[in-house]
Amino acid sequence: MKRWRRRYYDLFSHIYDRIIALHSRDKSSFLRYFLLEKTGVKDSAFLLDLCTGTGAVALAATRLISDKGLIVGVDFSEGMLRKAYKKGLSLKHPRLFWVLANVGELPFISQSFDIVTCSHAMYELDSATREATLKEIKRVLKPGGVFGMMEHCEPQNPLVRALYYLRLASMGSYENRAFAKDEKPFLEKYFSKVEKLLSPTGNSKLLLAYV
């Protein structure tokens, strides 16, 4: 199953940025900066971006985190990471790294990051991987660390909404739909405090979870 999904994302990586540019009004990565800003990112932060895809959040973070900090993007699709790597080259950030890994088994020592982010991806994980990932996030965050997760709100347009639910159904379990509806209880199993905000665009929700 995982191998098939990796292959799917490898293929998707060739058109991912174009698809996002077509249907998103967020041309200047406003949402990614909103997510980063709300985590309280400092220029010396050690930040881990999960399911980084073509690197949108990690690349935006290079404007906010200096060479005193660290930025790591993780994804299990080599295709996605190749795109992210290419985009990152021109930014010349000395402490920007891309790591090929499954987010349910993070190859990092415990308590090594101040911030973990995940944008528009957690709802796509199957429930076993999502639970393993939440556990891993808690493990790799330093005391006082924060997990910032951005997810889609239920689309207003009936056609887009139908496609969104079709996508959720294709992910398998009833739990995925429950997660997409209300992520808070899932996060509260692992984190001491969870806040939920709406993005200024009204199309995304931001969850901030504190260790």
Residue 75 CB, nearest distance to ligand SAM (Å)? 4
Which of 124, 136, 151, 183 contacts ligand SAM by CB under 6 A? 124
Q: How far apart are CA 188 and CA 173, in angstroms?
A: 20
Distance of CA 104 to the CA centre of its chain: 13
Kindly write out the interface string for residues 78-117 of this chain, putting x where it contacts ligand SAM by CB under 6 A and - elsewhere.
--x---------------------xxx-------------
Distance of CA 124 to the CA centre of its chain: 11
Residue 204 interacting with ligand SAM (CB under 6 A)? no
Residue 136 interacting with ligand SAM (CB under 6 A)? no
Which of 39, 62, 119, 176 contacts ligand SAM by CB under 6 A? 119
Which one, of 177, 207, 175, lies nearest residue 190 by Cα?
207
Residue 76 interacting with ligand SAM (CB under 6 A)? yes
Chain residues 16-55 in contact with ligand SAM, contact rule CB under 6 A? 51-53
Task: Give 55's Cβ-side CA count (13 Å radius).
Answer: 26
Residue 197 CB, nearest distance to ligand SAM (Å)? 17
| Residue type, position 24, single letter | S
Which of 120, 130, 138, 205 contacts ligand SAM by CB under 6 A? 120
Helices (H), the chain: 2-12, 16-23, 30-38, 56-61, 78-89, 127-140, 158-170, 174-181, 184-188
Binding site for ligand SAM (CB under 6 A): 9, 51-53, 56-57, 75-77, 80, 102-104, 119-121, 124-125, 129
